[in-house]
Chain A
Amino acid sequence: MTGLSIENLSMRFELPNGDHVQALQDVSLDLKAGELLSVLGPSGCGKTTLLNIVAGFLAPTAGELILNGHKVTGPDAERGMVFQQGALFEWMSVRENVGFGPSMKGTPKRDKDETVDHLLDVVGLQDFKEKAVYELSGGMQQRVALARCLANDPDVILMDEPLGALDALTREKMQSLVLKLWKETGKTIILITHSVEEALLLGERLIVMAPRPGRIHKEYRLPFADLGVDADLREVKKHPDFGPKREEILNMIWDMEEEIMGGKEDAA
């Protein structure tokens, strides 16, 4: 029973004025070990709520979450998290940041140093080992965040728009890195993104979520992530299916946004 299964997950926030928001309704999803799922959707569709529930930071109002046969009840080292930015510990060097997880577990120093050295090699930051994280560029900081997450050897990696704040070129390089790490480590990854292109390139599976209430609108299985492991991502984008898929999903999200805007006007 390896893998993550999300069963009839619902999340309802009561507002102080007596109203409520149905952030998620009956979301079910099975993720096999080693799958890479990207999640797209207009703002307010509950994708961050979903991620926070999987991470264990929020308890759902209904439904449950089973990882490798046991129920998820809170945050744990088995589910690592990569945030958009600002989640590194600026009082620690790059090496200490990456070694944080093993340190917390009390891993012997030699093993920890080995893991840290190896991961810094993988993300290409060996020369920046002793630097303070605030001395690094945004892209490098996200490499540190990836390495820090991997150092703990989690079963699932949750990424909350990890590349959202990077410039286009850095972003492309980081996308290749994510694919490379995924293939090498065989981790289950859930990636939340705003970029349709990124979701297509990285998602072996892709779900598009719809708002009000937050739910899974459509699911895809895509070949691009596998292609991208070995090829240049710009080549992958030239794949005959890539353009049409991108248009289809863009239109889908565009329609949802329109609907939200329209709804707002009605309300007003």
Chain B
Amino acid sequence: MISVIGDMGINLSAAAGSGLTVALVGWLIVFAALVLLVIVFTQIPKLIYYKTRKELKQKTKQAIVTNDDLQVAGDVSAAISTALYLFFNEMHDEESNVITIKHVRKEYSPWSSKIYGLRVWPRK
């Protein structure tokens, strides 16, 4: 089935053969790649927390240790992080609380002398 719009032709048979195969297989491969990532990243936490889960099981003597026992929810973690950030931000160095006054002695200089100022009436 071929018809022409402008200088482009509409050819349904062009998509029917290898085109359809490429599209279908291509999409399935994209799916497969991401499904594989899903499987791997669903299993990785189980491997990482295997030891912790075992230890927790022994300590608490629970039959089943759920994910909630092992992991902190993101919002809880965000709240703790904010609290820590604010705490460390407000901290400052400890001070001795001893207030001292340092005596500073000025050395004489004719440049700052009041004797030789312009407001002194010249002696005759």
**Do A and B bind?**
no
